[in-house]
A = this chain, B = another copy of it.
Amino acid sequence: MHSLIKTLFVEKFNNPPLSKLTDSAVLKIDDRLLAFTTDTYVVKPLFFPGGDIGKLAVSGTVNDLSVMGAEPICISCGLVIEEGLDYRILERIIDSMERTAESAKVKVVTGDTKVVEKGKGDGLFINTSGIGIIRKSISMDDIKPGDKIIINGPVGEHGIAVLLARGELGLESEVKSDCAPLNGLISEVLKVTDNIKFMRDPTRGGLGTVLNEIVEGKGFGIMLEEDRIPLSNPVKGACELLGLDPLYIANEGKVVIVATPEDVQKILEVMRHHPLGKDAEIIGEIVSEPKGKVGMKTKSKGTRIVDMLVGEQLPRIC
């Protein structure tokens, strides 16, 4: 998929905002920098512990804007409805979108609905695109060894919650998706520091993929400390049973931050005072070796490489 996006999108639609492949494109209109992003949600099932496709669609787009240092202003909503979808289901999902938008203080300002025949869709797909005003420009060009890596809480909850909600594995679990709009948390963080060098929400591909994207082709690497990475017991248990690595499982309410060591305690403090950041941790740092790689000091005092994920990630989780 990554190669598909790179080849087709970047080569064909050759232009500077797109080729950066960040969460949002950055546009300059007059003297104002705007962030613009799009995501289509095809999650299956439509409802899962901790959320639903509507909450996910609003949160995901709000988060893609927020990690660019942007204040999300408005979003669009494009629905593809499979014929026969129960109107009450649609109503519940739109209600959920509305509640999530309200909690994130964004407005759904424009929409579109299309209906396809039974068997030509899968209940409901939702596209949300969003516009935000960039309040602080964040550039990963300044990342250097010694910078710290922070995450606002436990990893893997969204992917595991959705996977188990499909019921195909016959596993019972109390795992809930972490799906939530992070703009409130991020704006609190941006109030106390000007030294954030990178933010990203580790969705598809999880924490491991985002960290690899930070170091890919760079003159520095990352060293994680396994015992500092927040992980809930139910996610840990489910991953062990299913043979999955929680580092590659999708999150929908997490943000990875790279910041200067001087500001890390301030950031951590602000995060831990916010409901979506109470389990925030410093999980590692930028190191000069191994260059271009993500290493991890394991609980057993060894070191292993956390590679770019090869092959299929879990399908239809967002």
Which A residues lie at the B interface, using CB under 8 A?
1, 4-5, 8-9, 12-13, 15, 17-18, 24-25, 27, 29-30, 32, 34, 36-42, 73-74, 76-80, 90-91, 94-95, 97-98, 101, 107-117, 119-122, 125, 127, 129, 131, 133, 315-316
Given contacts A13-B107, A32-B30, contact A112 B38 (CB under 8 A): yes
Copies in the complex: 2
Question: A74 and B36: CB pair below 8 A?
Answer: yes
Question: A101 and B13: CB pair below 8 A?
Answer: yes
In the bound complex, what is the Cα–Cα distance between A119 and B123 (angstroms)?
12
Question: A38 and B107: CB pair below 8 A?
Answer: no
Q: Across chains A and B, which 3 residue pairs bring their CB atoms closest together, nearest first?
A: A129-B129, A38-B76, A25-B109
Given contacts A80-B80, A98-B12, A121-B121, contact A74 B27 (CB under 8 A): yes
Question: B5 and A38: CB pair below 8 A?
Answer: no
Instruction: Classify the secondary structure of A's interface with B.
Output: strand
Given contacts A32-B32, A40-B79, contact A5 B113 (CB under 8 A): yes
- Give the chain B neighbours of A101 by CB distance below 8 A: 13
Residue of B nearest to A40 (CB): B78
In the bound complex, what is the Cα–Cα distance between A99 and B95 (angstroms)?
39
In the bound complex, what is the Cα–Cα distance between A122 and B114 (angstroms)?
13
- Min CB–CB distance A158 → chain B (angstroms): 15
- Min CB–CB distance A310 → chain B (angstroms): 17
- Min CB–CB distance A13 → chain B (angstroms): 4
| Given contact pairs A32-B32, A39-B78, A78-B78, a sample of 10 additional A-B residue pairs in the complex whose CB atoms are under 8 Å apart | A9-B108, A9-B111, A15-B109, A29-B29, A36-B76, A37-B76, A38-B127, A38-B129, A76-B129, A121-B122
Question: B8 and A91: CB pair below 8 A?
Answer: yes
Question: B27 and A80: CB pair below 8 A?
Answer: no
Residue of B nearest to A37 (CB): B110
